[in-house]
């Protein structure tokens, strides 16, 4: 068979490698001039490893098939990610919310976890059954912390208030009553020793994989292949016939600073236009330099950053719209939509690898 994979990111590379190892000839194309998709990283003139499209943190259960698969193409450096939020008074508090976060915002002190649990019950509405992210924040941390940490941040991140955002988005950020200040609690947390780009380069290094960069997909290409895996916006493919699926994009602004941040990533939860800053030299697979590169992220609509898709805006209306496109896709036997834009789904890296490993297995079983 002769298969086309559109998108040389982690999803496309996983598909391509899996199919090639089964004896399938695969052509991989990408409209960008580099591989690795939004996980693309590079080393700058200061020897710092920069993630061009924002920080990418790999985390999952250590038993995940993603760990076994990707470990063939990279060595790992253990790394447990930590994030703080900058408050209006200049203090920093841990995110996700934990006992220390509550103490600093309310000016209290807990001597054990039971005290923090009881305090949290007092400041939240335990009878509320959440149906959106704003209600979830109210039920989990109460109105004060919601107003400080979540409502302004969510509005600028997603372009709409939190009560218009699917509950699953808010559920990505847990609330803890202990003092665990790690952003993730997965049993496997690490960064590729030589970066994501090198890892994906090794994934695509196979005699049955042909790679072409700087090449955009067109429907004419379908005629030359037995099957096409398309990591392209599904609404774009169908000429937006049912309407446009909503996404948020990001503009990146680089600065140089002498002083270290308290954590590799700092969230700005106020109403200024930036959502977070990343100091790259604080990541363990980056080199160090006396002058640190710090990247600020400014969320925006796709109209302000055309073609740069980052976050699908998940709500009831957009999910129903996606289902209509999904119905159209079911009639395309020789096409499989994949990746974040093809599936209109926010995908962490490990789940994306597992999903596309399974996608390759199903394809091979049927052909």
41 domain residue, yes or no = no
- Tell me, yes or no, whether 233 and 154 share the same domain: no
Q: Are 150 and 96 in contact (CB under 8 A)?
A: no
12: CATH:
3.40.50.720
Residues 112, 229, single domain; the answer is no
- Pair 225, 321 in one domain: yes
| Cα–Cα distance for residue pair 254/31, rounded to 1 Å | 24
Cα–Cα–Cα angle for 219, 222, 227, rounded to 5 degrees: 135
Query: Closest by alpha carbon to 181, among 265, 60, 96, 55?
Result: 96
Same domain, 230 and 361: yes
**236 and 317, same domain (yes or no):** yes
Residue 70 placed within a domain: no
Interval 311-338: pLDDT, tens: 999 889 999 999 999 999 999 999 999 9
Q: Whole domain around residue 210: which residue ranges?
A: 1-35+204-246+313-367
Give the count of beta carbons closer than 10 Å to the beta carbon of residue 51.
24
Chain centre distance of CA 81: 14
What whole-number distance in Å separates Cα of residue 106 and Cα of residue 124? 13
Q: Residue 47 falls within a domain, yes or no?
A: no
Judged by DSSP in three states, 166 sits in coil
Query: What is the structure's pLDDT at 327?
Result: 98
CA torsion angle 341 53 159 314 (round to 10): 30
Q: What pLDDT sits at residue 318?
A: 95
* 231 and 146 fall within a common domain: no
Nearest to 259 by CA among 287, 290, 295, 288: 290
346 and 208 within one domain: yes
Is residue 297 a part of any domain in this protein? Answer: no
Is residue 238 located within the same domain as residue 319?
yes
Domains of the chain: total:
2
Residue 211 sits in the same domain as residue 165: no
Does the residue 16 lie in any domain? yes
13 with 162, same domain?
no
Residue 261 in any domain: the answer is: no
Beta bridge pairs of residue 327: none
pLDDT tens-place values along the chain, 367 residues long? 899 999 999 999 999 999 999 999 999 999 999 999 999 999 999 999 999 999 999 999 999 999 999 999 999 999 999 999 999 889 999 999 999 999 999 999 999 999 999 999 999 988 899 999 999 999 999 999 999 999 999 999 999 999 999 999 999 889 999 999 999 999 999 999 999 999 999 999 999 999 999 999 999 999 999 999 999 999 999 999 999 999 999 999 999 999 999 999 999 999 899 999 999 999 999 999 999 999 999 999 999 999 999 999 988 999 999 999 999 999 999 999 999 999 999 999 999 999 999 999 999 999 9
For position 88, what pLDDT does the model report?
87
- 266 located within any domain: no
Is 336 a member of any domain?
A: yes
What residues act catalytically?
Answer: 172, 176, 248, 276, 297, 346, 348
Cβ burial, residue 79 (10 Å; 0-12/13-18/19+):
middle
pLDDT value, residue 38:
97
Q: What are the distances in angstroms from CA 81 to CA 174, 189, 221, 263, 354?
A: 15, 8, 42, 9, 22
The whole-number pLDDT of residue 126 equals 84
- 324: which residues sit within 8 A by CB, 6+ positions away? 242
Domain's final residue, options 170, 195, 227:
170
Same structural domain, 227 and 322:
yes
Q: Which of 152, 170, 188 is the last residue of a domain?
A: 170
**Phi and psi of 254, rounded to 5°?**
-100, 135
Q: Which tokens belong to 278?
A: 């990343």
Looking at residue 314, what is its pLDDT? 87
Residues 232 and 160 in one domain: no
- Mention every residue, 6+ apart, whose C-beta is less than 8 A from residue 277: 261, 265, 266, 268, 294, 295, 296, 297
Integer-rounded Cα Rg, in Å, for the chain is 22
Among 123, 146, 170, residue at a domain's last position: 170
């Amino acid at each position: 068979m002769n298969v086309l994979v559109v998108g040389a990111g982690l999803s496309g590379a996983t598909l391509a490698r899996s199919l090639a190892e089964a004896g399938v000839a695969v052509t991989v194309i990408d409209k960008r001039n580099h591989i690795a998709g939004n996980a693309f990283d590079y080393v700058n003139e200061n020897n710092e490893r920069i993630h061009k499209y924002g920080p990418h943190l790999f985390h999952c259960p250590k038993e995940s098939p993603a760990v076994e698969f990707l470990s063939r193409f990279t060595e790992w450096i253990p790394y447990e990610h930590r994030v703080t939020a900058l408050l209006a008074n200049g203090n920093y508090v841990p995110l996700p919310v934990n006992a220390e976060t509550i103490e600093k915002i309310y000016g209290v002190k807990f001597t054990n976890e039971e005290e923090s649990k009881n305090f949290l019950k007092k400041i939240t509405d335990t009878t509320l059954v959440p149906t959106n992210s704003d209600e979830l924040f109210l039920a989990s941390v109460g109105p004060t912390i919601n107003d400080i940490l979540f409502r302004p941040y969510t509005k600028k991140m997603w372009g709409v208030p939190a009560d218009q955002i699917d509950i699953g988005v808010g559920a990505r950020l847990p609330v803890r009553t202990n003092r665990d200040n790690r952003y993730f609690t997965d049993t496997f947390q690490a960064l590729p020793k030589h970066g994501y780009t090198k890892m994906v380069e090794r994934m695509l290094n196979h005699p049955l994989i042909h790679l072409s960069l700087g090449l955009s997909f067109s429907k004419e290409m379908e005629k030359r292949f037995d099957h096409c895996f398309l990591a392209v916006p599904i609404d774009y493919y169908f000429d937006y016939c049912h309407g446009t699926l909503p996404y948020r994009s990001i503009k990146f602004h680089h600065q140089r600073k002498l002083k270290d941040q308290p954590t590799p990533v700092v969230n700005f939860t106020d109403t200024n236009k930036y959502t977070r800053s990343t100091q790259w030299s604080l990541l363990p697979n980056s080199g160090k330099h006396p002058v640190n590169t710090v990247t600020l992220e400014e969320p925006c609509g796709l109209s302000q950053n055309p073609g740069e898709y980052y976050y699908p805006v998940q709500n009831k209306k957009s999910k129903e719209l996606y289902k209509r496109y999904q119905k159209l896709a079911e009639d395309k036997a020789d096409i499989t939509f994949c990746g974040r834009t093809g599936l209109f789904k926010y995908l962490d890296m490990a789940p994306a690898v597992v999903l596309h490993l399974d996608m390759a297995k199903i394809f091979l079983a049927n052909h």
